[in-house]
Amino acid sequence: MNGVEKLTNDKRNSTRYSRKIGRMGNSLGVSLPKSLAAKLDVSQGDEIEFIENDRGEVVLKKVRQNKLPDHVRPEVLEAFFDVFEEDTGILEDLRDR
């Protein structure tokens, strides 16, 4: 098998990619097939995210980099997101009231 397999079912066409996991330093890594990298519009140095849904499926997406306004420093925005993640429970409680 070349690592790419086309699947067809009643509802949609899908493509299944198969890769072996390898060691990358102290971590594990996997390469992206060239055709998938092109579909995701990613290249070396880009950031991707893995999103797991409630069925245990994982979606792979390119992280879209937004340009910050000139008066916003990246470290301030990072600190904001850290606080937001810490207070998610509080915010969810407020939303549910």
Mean pLDDT, rounded, for 56-81: 81
* CA distances to 81, 82, 89 from 96, in Å: 21, 22, 11
Question: Which sign does the torsion angle of CA 49, 50, 53, 57 carry?
Answer: positive
- The mean predicted confidence, pLDDT, of the chain is 81
What predicted TM-score, i.e. pTM, was given to this entire model? 0.52
What is the rounded distance in angstroms from the CA atom of residue 35 to the CA atom of residue 70?
36
User: Alpha-carbon distance 83 to 80, whole Å?
Assistant: 5
Task: Compute the distance between CA of residue 33 and CA of residue 52 in angstroms, rounded to an integer.
Answer: 21
Position 19 pLDDT exceeds 80: yes
Q: Tell me, what amino acid is at 57?
A: E
How does DSSP classify residue 72? -
- Contact (Cβ atoms closer than 8 angstroms) between residue 19 and residue 5: no
Average pLDDT over residues 15-42: 91
Q: What is the pLDDT, as a whole number, of residue 3?
A: 67
Give me the pLDDT at residue 52, please.
93
Considering only residues 1 and 75, tell me which one the structure prediction assigns the higher pLDDT: 75
Instruction: Please give the single-letter amino acid code of residue 86.
Output: E
